[in-house]
Amino acid sequence: MAAFPDPLTIVLVLGSAQCLFLAFVFARSDRGNARAGRLLSLFFLLLPVSTLDGLLFRTGLYREWPFLIGIEPMARLLVGPVFYFYVESLVDPLFRIRKRLALHAAVAAGLLALCLPFFLEEPVYKMMFVDVWLRNAGYTPAEYFGRFWYELAIELQVWAYLALIWFELRRYESMIRESFSSIDSITLAWIRKVVIAFALALAARGLSYILFLFFIKFALMYLFAPLAAAFAAYYISYKSFHQKDVFLLERPPLAPVCPSKPKYQKSAFSDEESELILARLEKAMRQRRPYADPELTLSKLAALLATSHHHLSQLLNQRLNTSFYDYVNGYRLEQVKRELADPARSGASILDLALDCGFNSKSAFNKIFKNATSMSPSQYRARSLGSSGQAASAPASAGQAVSAQSDPFAE
C-alpha cells in the first residue's frame, strides 16, 4: 500500500475522516431540527465518497481497491440534492422532501444510468484504464470525453444546485430582514462560504478540463473537489462548536410577509390607515423605544401598534422604502451615536452602550455602525467629544437648540 508522503495527501485523508466523524455526530444528535440533522449527516457521508477518486489516484490505492473506481460520479449525483434539501429544511419549516423528490430523483437516476456501465466493468480493466489515464498516454481528449461525457453533465448538475442554494439563501436573508431586528443568530451566511468553496473547486476543475483539451498534463484534475470537501468539513466543524444553533435548532417562525408590491396593491389598506399607523409608529419609536429590545420582531412591533404584521411590513416597504431590520437598526444606530457624543456617557464602554440600545452582538453593531458612518465607534466618539469640547463655551440654550434641530427623533 502506498504511503502518505506529502502534506496535501494527509490533509485529504484527515478531511475525509472529519466528514465521517461529522456524519456520525449529526446522525446521533437529538437537538431541534431532526430532519436537518439527518440530511446534514447524509451530506457528510456522501462527501468523501464523492471525492474518492482524488484520494485513490493520488495515493495509488486504486490498485488495492479497483472495485471503488467509478463510484465517485454516482455519489456526486446525490451531494447537490442532499445539501439543497438541507438548506431548504432550514429556511422553510413547512418543507417536505417527498413533495419535491420525484423531479430531483429522476434527474439523478438518468445520470446514474450513464455512470453504471463503467462502474460495472471488470476491476482489472478499470485499473488498467486509470493507469494509462494517469500517465497521460493512449487516450486523446476526444476519446476520454467521448466515453465520460456524463462527467460534464454531472458538473452542470452540481452547478445548478449551487445556484439553487444561493437563491434560497438570498430569499431567506430577505425574509428574516423583514421579520427580525437581530439576525446574527439565525443567519446562514456560513453556507455561502461553503458554496463558494465548491464553486471555486468546480471552476478549477473546469479549467483542468480545458487544459486537458490542449494536451497539457494536469495532475491536479482530481484534487480540487477533495480539497473543497476537506474545507467544508473543517469549516463546518469549527462553526458547529462555536454556533451550534445554526445547524439543527428549529428556525424561528417567520411572519408570512411579502415585500412584493403587486401583492400589496391587492391589500385593502387605505392611505388614511397608512398615515395613522405611520404616526403611531414614529411616536412609539420615539417615546417607548421598542428598538432597545434586542429580540424585537415585526410581530411584536405590530402588536404594540395594534395592527397586523402584514400592514406594518407594507408600510415599511412601500411608504418608507426600507426593511424592518434596517428600520429598527437605524433607530438603534442614531441612539448609539447620541450616547457616544454625550460627555456624560464618556466613561461607559461602547459595547455597553450598543447593548443598551438594542444591538445583541458586538460584531453586528460594528458592521452596521461602520457601514453607516465609514468609521469605527471609537473614532466617532473621539471626534464627537472633541467637537463638543470645543463648543463647551457656547450658551447652553444654543446647544440645546442645535441638538433639537439635529435630532430626528426630537419632539
Q: Residue length, the chain?
A: 411
Whole-number Å distance between alpha carbons of 264 and 102: 34
pLDDT value for 404: 36
**pLDDT tens track, the chain, 411 positions:** 445 457 777 877 888 888 888 888 888 876 667 788 888 889 889 888 887 877 787 778 888 888 888 888 888 888 889 999 988 888 876 777 776 777 888 888 888 888 888 888 888 888 887 777 766 555 666 666 666 777 788 888 989 999 999 999 998 888 889 989 988 877 888 888 888 888 887 887 777 777 766 655 555 556 666 777 777 777 777 776 665 545 544 455 444 444 444 445 445 567 787 888 899 999 999 999 999 999 999 999 999 998 888 889 888 988 889 999 999 999 999 999 999 998 998 888 999 999 999 998 888 899 999 999 999 999 999 888 876 554 444 444 333 333 333 343 333
| C-beta of residue 55 within 8 angstroms of C-beta of residue 266 | no
b (16+ CB within 10 A) / e for 43-62: bbbbbbbbbbbbbbbbbeeb
Looking at domain 261-390+397-406, its CATH superfamily turns out to be: Homeodomain-like (1.10.10.60)
pLDDT value for 1: 46
pLDDT value for 392: 44
Grid coordinates of 11:
490533509
Grid coordinates of 55:
484520494
Q: pTM for this structure?
A: 0.78
Written out in words, the top-level CATH class of the domain with range 7-246 is mainly alpha
Q: Where are the domains of the chain?
A: 7-246, 261-390+397-406
Calculate the CA 136 to chain-centre distance.
39
